[in-house]
Each structure stands twice: as C-alpha cells, then as structure tokens.
C-alpha cells in the first residue's frame, strides 16, 4: 500500500467523512414548543386576573404545564377557558363594580385565592392522569 492510499484510508477513520447533522433534536424541539404553548396559556390566565405568589410559583406552574401530554394540556386549556368564561356568582359585585378602594378587598382576595387554588389543583390532577 502506498503512503498516499494509506493517508486516504486513514482520513475516513478519523471522522473526515460526511458531516453529521447539527441543531436541536426532535425531543428538544418538542420541549421548546411545549414551553411556548404553556407560556401563552399562562399569559392569557394572567390577563384574566390569575396571580402567582412569587416568580418561583409561576415557574413551577409553567414547568407543570409544559410537562403535560398533548391531551392533558388541551383538557387543562379548555378547563381554564371555561373558568374564565364563567359568570360571577349572584352575590359577587353587588355594587356594580363601584366599590371604593379598600371596600370588598377581602372578598376579592378570597376569590382570587380560590381561582389560583383551583388552577393548581386542575394542573396537578392532569399531571397524574
């Protein structure tokens, strides 16, 4: 074998062959898509008045939503939309929204707390399903 043919043969053994594909794997692409749809849902929920106690609580909810299967996420999204579309109870807002600052605040906080608890419960339920 000549030195030239030996060098040629060795070049294939050293990884000089065809280039390997680069970029994110299909799993990484799916994880990014799941996180994006979870972020969109969280933004919609926050626009509807859902609040989180801290940034950490928000990140935990984002992680839970992003971890859901497609079916579980769709069910969760539908449930949140139904909750947002639900009409307030008869005793809520009797003053027609004209309460002065500080009046009715505990009732409003209680409703927000119940909504946040319900949202977390639904997410936890779908995570176990």
HEC states along 71-114?
Answer: HHHHHHHHHHHHHHHCCCCCCCCCCCCCCCCCCCHHHHHHHHHH
Write down how long the chain is: 129
What does the pLDDT read at residue 25? 92
Query: Which pLDDT band, with edges at 50, 70 and 90, does 32 fall under?
Result: very high
What does the pLDDT read at residue 38? 95
What does the pLDDT read at residue 127? 53
What does the pLDDT read at residue 94? 47
What does the pLDDT read at residue 17? 53
25 vs 121, residue with greater confidence: 25
Q: Which residues touch 31 (CB under 8 Å, ≥6 apart)?
A: 66
| CA–CA dist 45, 128 (Å, integer) | 22
Note the pLDDT tens digit of each residue in 106-128: 666 666 666 666 666 666 555 55
Q: Which two tokens stand for residue 13?
A: 């053994």
Domain borders along the chain are 26-85+110-129
């Amino acid at each position: 074998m000549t030195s030239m043919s030996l060098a040629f043969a060795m070049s294939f053994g050293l990884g000089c062959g065809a280039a390997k594909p680069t970029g994110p794997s299909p799993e990484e692409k799916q994880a990014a898509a799941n996180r994006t749809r979870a972020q969109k849902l969280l933004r919609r929920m926050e626009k509807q008045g859902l609040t989180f106690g801290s940034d950490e609580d928000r990140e935990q909810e984002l992680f839970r939503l992003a971890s859901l299967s497609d079916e579980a996420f769709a069910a969760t999204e539908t449930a949140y939309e139904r909750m947002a579309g639900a009409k307030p109870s008869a005793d809520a807002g009797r003053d027609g929204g004209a309460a002065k600052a500080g009046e009715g605040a505990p009732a409003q906080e209680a409703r927000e707390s119940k909504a946040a608890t319900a949202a977390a419960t639904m997410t936890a339920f779908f995570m176990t399903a």
